[in-house]
A and B are shown apart, each in its own frame.
Chain A
């Protein structure tokens, strides 16, 4: 009984932490519709700045300490305002989600900046003055600071409620959350509203980080941990709903605490480790919530945005004859590559081809079908594991194992997709992410079958593909065929129907197109293509580890598609080549390669707000018209 009460309190303290991480993200998304990947980085900046500030002013007693915490939050808010004014404001007119690229670049740059400024060592701050001990609750010692944290969550929630409901600024923010075009039409200066909201959101993230100084060390992985948690909380609660975020944080905080409290339990003769379940529990909760409530606990269906003129996609046109000839020449040039004897170029190009197919498979549902997936790596990974497992565990020949990859991936996509297509927008994206994480946690923990965290080794191709050139040509044929097939399908009736479903669901319904079924079929189909890429990847590396289906791989695919241009068909391939090549070149030649890669992406984002191919072809189109 005692331990249940204490674990409940632990859950509450955890919930406050989660709420502070997430609430700013929810606020920012509600108003600006920006999916801010850098929110975790803001949180991380908060804890690092607070660590230094506490070091500088902490000697001045409690006042210095709490002053330092608030100063850190304020500094992060200021940084957020700068980011909004200097970067994001320039790209609000870009296609949906393009801002995500800019925030991804920021993640890379902030990470390197923190490493440069604070060094690689974990930094554990001092305990909070006045709250540095423990009180006894039912005979158990409980840290005073954790009690304080329990109070902070509701206090921040209350203050935000007052701000949003009792001030003019708050009224405008709520209005913008519901219909930002109308707010603009009524003469409200949206620019400053957006800047203000972004700064407030950043400030809250910074506060969340700063308040962790007495609890956990500042370290370089907080950005990724925090961003995943933040997204889960925001989506479970309902995007843009602040009470929802609080409720979600409460549920997840408590579920985690009780999983840990339960530890190992024997159920029906099988030992279940609830402690190990904490690896993925928040994603399981998210999947359940989204399946039952498609807009989160307290969310409402997203208000339809009136599309800005740039948001309306030009219809796809069949490639002109010249382009087809160009593609043929390109294929021949690529086929001749091994003749140059540049062995490493062949290896790098193999990676690029594989990622081009992977990115194109994501683009197929993201662009023409309008379904953004945050968990596309699941099918890449299922392809890799499907092939690797059949080869190693069943002793199948490589050719058979290779075919098993896309089958496994398609099967996975069919199961997950059945749930996902019921959702729309960011909720769809987050459900795909939840399933990807659940899949990842299974391969990560199933040691006897998937090799657990070490993965599989010895996944080498058959003798006739052992040479890198042979494998490259093989990948060229498969990926080339895959790309061509994806393109061909888009110009089939199926492809037209998908695009119709994206552009006008209502009219589709009226003429008898079952959109959900089409989307499910598309999701399964691209799963298979991602699976081909994954299986090829496994054989090109000789090993598979859980990385192949982890979040960074999904993010890479998103970045590739957006970098190339989501409204073009060649975009994903160009984006894949650009990102892979950039990363390879920069990482080999510079020490702070992450920040340089981030800066390069940022430049591309600002220079090509439609993606590389999108912007170039727009430029080309204009000259033609003139």
Chain B
């Protein structure tokens, strides 16, 4: 019996040789990172450069708990099942202490639920979905970026000030666009009860038929437009809208359009005076941002995008959490993450104990053309904590731990 078992074990070993595990480097603290690098390279290449810089800084300063920090990164190809498998690989083979990363909302939610099942910490860097901290929130998951709701809320004061009655809405047809639209309608109606939403266009993500969409919006004769388009859809929409005169005398609010990832490609086509959320790296004068900007330019010979800030801040969060916890134990890390203060290029931010959302904010302002490039011509920083619903409302949405 014993020999037979040994035989099978040996056979299995031979089979497994192809999958042999690399020896873990002793002494470093390994953190897992899963993201869709090939699926969303426009955002994630700068993001990677950001976390590389952050990592070098942390390690140059002696690492954490006397050990070097290492981020073991994996590309899930934009596939949620693969993301879960790679998260598993990071935990079981690489022996990472916890998980970070993800971009798309569906993958963020899947990894978050996996972390809950495995009882490990997960810091979601990019996903914007409100659900990851609210409806589907769990005690193991924390989120870095300001959510769809928060960024939409940041645009509301300017939108309400204009007192426009007829609004047209255009959004990419998936959760992010739907949430942005729902939040915008709810928040604006609360401020301005007589507002009317005259048309809603929901083109498929990445496949907008911009000419027809622009025409349909023009036909509804709106006074103002709210859009949550980004990437190629935004560029298509802007060019057709400019050509067809849709934006003439109509204020436009566009979530995310001030982020260099999406603003820079517009170049000459950049519309004037749109209200956006974004990241004007060329104009932020705070010392903490200046330090980040110089370091980033030195290291990568390129300017940072918003993704760079997110990647950089992710590493700072990781380091701060481990330092505060003084250990790699999951429970201690969770306790440390609750209320954790982190120095980001945008200033101090806190991970709220209430719903595990960070208070990182965004820059809000208007865009315009300068030297043939699109820039945010006027902007102000909106801290995240100012744009979250009341605590009682959050408690109602979030399941008990």
CB within 8 Å of B: which residues of A?
3, 6-7, 10-11, 13-14, 111-112, 115, 120-124, 126-127, 133-134, 140-143, 146, 215-217, 219-221, 225, 256-257, 260-261, 263-264, 273, 275-276, 278-279, 332-333, 335-337, 339-340, 342-345, 347-348, 351, 444-445, 447, 452-455, 457-458, 460, 468, 537, 541-543, 545-548, 552, 581, 583-584, 587-588, 593-594
B209 interface contact, C-beta 8 A: yes
B265 interface contact, C-beta 8 A: yes
Chain B residue with Cβ nearest A257 = B212
B113 interface contact, C-beta 8 A: yes
Q: Are A454 and B265 in contact (CB under 8 A)?
A: no
Q: Are A217 and B80 in contact (CB under 8 A)?
A: no
Q: Are B200 and A337 in contact (CB under 8 A)?
A: no
What is the distance, in angstroms, from B218's C-beta to the closest C-beta of chain A? 7
Q: Are B203 and A278 in contact (CB under 8 A)?
A: yes
Q: Which 6 A-B pairs have the closest CB atoms?
A: A120-B41, A336-B8, A343-B92, A453-B174, A543-B110, A260-B212
In the bound complex, what is the Cα–Cα distance between A590 and B302 (angstroms)? Answer: 23
Residues of A within 8 Å of B219, CB to CB, are 3, 261
Residues of B within 8 Å of A142, CB to CB, are 244
In the bound complex, what is the Cα–Cα distance between A446 and B255 (angstroms)? Answer: 24
Q: Are A333 and B211 in contact (CB under 8 A)?
A: no
Give residues of chain B (3-55) contacting chain A, Cβ–Cβ below 8 Å.
Answer: 5, 8-9, 11-13, 15-16, 18-19, 21, 38, 41-42, 44-45
In the bound complex, what is the Cα–Cα distance between A126 and B242 (angstroms)? Answer: 13
B377 interface contact, C-beta 8 A: no
Residues of B within 8 Å of A455, CB to CB, are 80, 106, 109-110
Residues of A within 8 Å of B174, CB to CB, are 444, 452-453
Chain A residue with Cβ nearest B15 = A333
Residues of B within 8 Å of A133, CB to CB, are 243
Known: A142-B244, A340-B13, A345-B19. A543 touches B113 (CB 8 A): yes
Chain B residue with Cβ nearest A453 = B174
B317 interface contact, C-beta 8 A: no
What is the distance, in angstroms, from A214's C-beta to the closest C-beta of chain B? 8
B77 interface contact, C-beta 8 A: yes
Residues of B within 8 Å of A14, CB to CB, are 209, 211-212
Known: A6-B215, A143-B240, A351-B85. A264 touches B113 (CB 8 A): no
In the bound complex, what is the Cα–Cα distance between A278 and B203 (angstroms)? Answer: 7
Interface residue from B16, B75, B93, B136 paired with A340 (Cβ < 8 Å) = B16
B295 interface contact, C-beta 8 A: no
Q: Are B211 and A10 in contact (CB under 8 A)?
A: yes
Known: A452-B175, A547-B79. A276 touches B202 (CB 8 A): yes
Q: Are A263 and B216 in contact (CB under 8 A)?
A: yes
Q: Are A454 and B105 in contact (CB under 8 A)?
A: yes
B89 interface contact, C-beta 8 A: yes
Residues of B within 8 Å of A264, CB to CB, are 199-200
Q: Are A275 and B211 in contact (CB under 8 A)?
A: no
Interface residue from A124, A257, A345, A541 paired with B269 (Cβ < 8 Å) = A124
Q: Are A273 and B131 in contact (CB under 8 A)?
A: no
Indicate with 1 or 0, residue by residue over B221-255, a CB within 8 angstroms of chain A CB atoms: 00000000001100110011001110000000000
Q: Are A276 and B173 in contact (CB under 8 A)?
A: yes
B206 interface contact, C-beta 8 A: yes
Q: Are B265 and A263 in contact (CB under 8 A)?
A: no
Interface residue from B12, B77, B81, B175 paired with A333 (Cβ < 8 Å) = B12
Known: A344-B21, A455-B110, A542-B110. A122 touches B239 (CB 8 A): no
CB within 8 Å of A: which residues of B?
5, 8-9, 11-13, 15-16, 18-19, 21, 38, 41-42, 44-45, 74-75, 77-81, 84-86, 88-89, 92-93, 105-107, 109-110, 112-114, 117, 129, 131, 136, 173-175, 178, 199-204, 206-207, 209-213, 215-216, 218-220, 231-232, 235-236, 239-240, 243-245, 261, 264-269
In the bound complex, what is the Cα–Cα distance between A7 and B81 (angstroms)? Answer: 41
Q: Are A217 and B216 in contact (CB under 8 A)?
A: no
Residues of A within 8 Å of B231, CB to CB, are 122, 219
What is the distance, in angstroms, from B83's C-beta to the closest C-beta of chain A? 9
Known: A216-B236, A347-B85, A588-B74. A457 touches B113 (CB 8 A): yes
Residues of A within 8 Å of B38, CB to CB, are 111-112, 115, 593-594
In the bound complex, what is the Cα–Cα distance between A345 and B44 (angstroms)? Answer: 28
What is the distance, in angstroms, from B381's C-beta to the closest C-beta of chain A? 25
Q: Are A216 and B235 in contact (CB under 8 A)?
A: yes
In the bound complex, what is the Cα–Cα distance between A274 and B75 (angstroms)? Answer: 36
Residues of A within 8 Å of B203, CB to CB, are 260, 275, 278
Q: Are B81 and A537 in contact (CB under 8 A)?
A: yes
What is the distance, in angstroms, from A10's C-beta to the closest C-beta of chain B? 4
In the bound complex, what is the Cα–Cα distance between A368 and B233 (angstroms)? Answer: 44
Residues of B within 8 Å of A13, CB to CB, are 211
Residues of B within 8 Å of A140, CB to CB, are 215, 218, 244
In the bound complex, what is the Cα–Cα distance between A133 and B243 (angstroms)? Answer: 6
Known: A217-B236, A275-B203. A141 touches B244 (CB 8 A): yes
Residues of B within 8 Å of A542, CB to CB, are 84, 110, 113-114, 117
Q: Are B80 and A348 in contact (CB under 8 A)?
A: no
What is the distance, in angstroms, from B63's C-beta to the closest C-beta of chain A? 25
Interface residue from B11, B220, B232 paired with A221 (Cβ < 8 Å) = B232
Q: Can you report 9 residue pairs joining A to B where beta carbons are below 8 Å apart?
A: A3-B216, A7-B212, A140-B218, A278-B204, A279-B173, A345-B19, A545-B106, A545-B110, A587-B74
Q: Are A126 and B268 in contact (CB under 8 A)?
A: yes
Chain B residue with Cβ nearest A13 = B211
In the bound complex, what is the Cα–Cα distance between A276 and B200 (angstroms)? Answer: 9
Residues of A within 8 Å of B84, CB to CB, are 541-543
Interface residue from B81, B175, B212, B232 paired with A122 (Cβ < 8 Å) = B232
Q: Are A593 and B75 in contact (CB under 8 A)?
A: yes
Chain A residue with Cβ nearest B106 = A545
Known: A14-B209, A142-B244. A347 touches B92 (CB 8 A): yes
Q: Are B8 and A339 in contact (CB under 8 A)?
A: yes
In the bound complex, what is the Cα–Cα distance between A127 and B231 (angstroms)? Answer: 18
Q: Are B131 and A454 in contact (CB under 8 A)?
A: yes
Known: A457-B113, A543-B84. A342 touches B16 (CB 8 A): yes
Q: Are B12 and A120 in contact (CB under 8 A)?
A: no
Q: Are A339 and B12 in contact (CB under 8 A)?
A: yes
Q: Are B75 and A587 in contact (CB under 8 A)?
A: yes
In the bound complex, what is the Cα–Cα distance between A460 and B81 (angstroms)? Answer: 13
In the bound complex, what is the Cα–Cα distance between A14 and B213 (angstroms)? Answer: 12
Q: Are B200 and A273 in contact (CB under 8 A)?
A: yes
Q: Are B212 and A141 in contact (CB under 8 A)?
A: no
Residues of B within 8 Å of A120, CB to CB, are 41-42, 44-45
Q: Are A261 and B106 in contact (CB under 8 A)?
A: no
In the bound complex, what is the Cα–Cα distance between A263 and B236 (angstroms)? Answer: 19
Residues of A within 8 Å of B200, CB to CB, are 263-264, 273, 275
Q: Are B269 and A468 in contact (CB under 8 A)?
A: no
Q: Are B212 and A10 in contact (CB under 8 A)?
A: yes
17 other A-B residue contacts (CB within 8 Å) besides A347-B85, A541-B114? A121-B261, A140-B244, A260-B201, A260-B213, A261-B219, A279-B173, A279-B204, A339-B12, A340-B9, A342-B19, A447-B178, A453-B105, A455-B109, A460-B117, A537-B81, A542-B84, A547-B80
Interface residue from A115, A336, A348, A457 paired with B9 (Cβ < 8 Å) = A336
Q: Are B206 and A221 in contact (CB under 8 A)?
A: yes
Known: A445-B173, A460-B117. A337 touches B16 (CB 8 A): yes
Known: A124-B267, A134-B244, A216-B232. A347 touches B89 (CB 8 A): yes
Known: A336-B12, A455-B80. A215 touches B19 (CB 8 A): no
What is the distance, in angstroms, from B364's C-beta to the closest C-beta of chain A? 23
Residues of A within 8 Å of B204, CB to CB, are 278-279
Q: Are B206 and A143 in contact (CB under 8 A)?
A: no
In the bound complex, what is the Cα–Cα distance between A220 and B265 (angstroms)? Answer: 14
In the bound complex, what is the Cα–Cα distance between A542 and B240 (angstroms)? Answer: 43
Q: Are A263 and B80 in contact (CB under 8 A)?
A: no
Q: Are A344 and B212 in contact (CB under 8 A)?
A: no
What is the distance, in angstroms, from A594's C-beta to the closest C-beta of chain B? 6
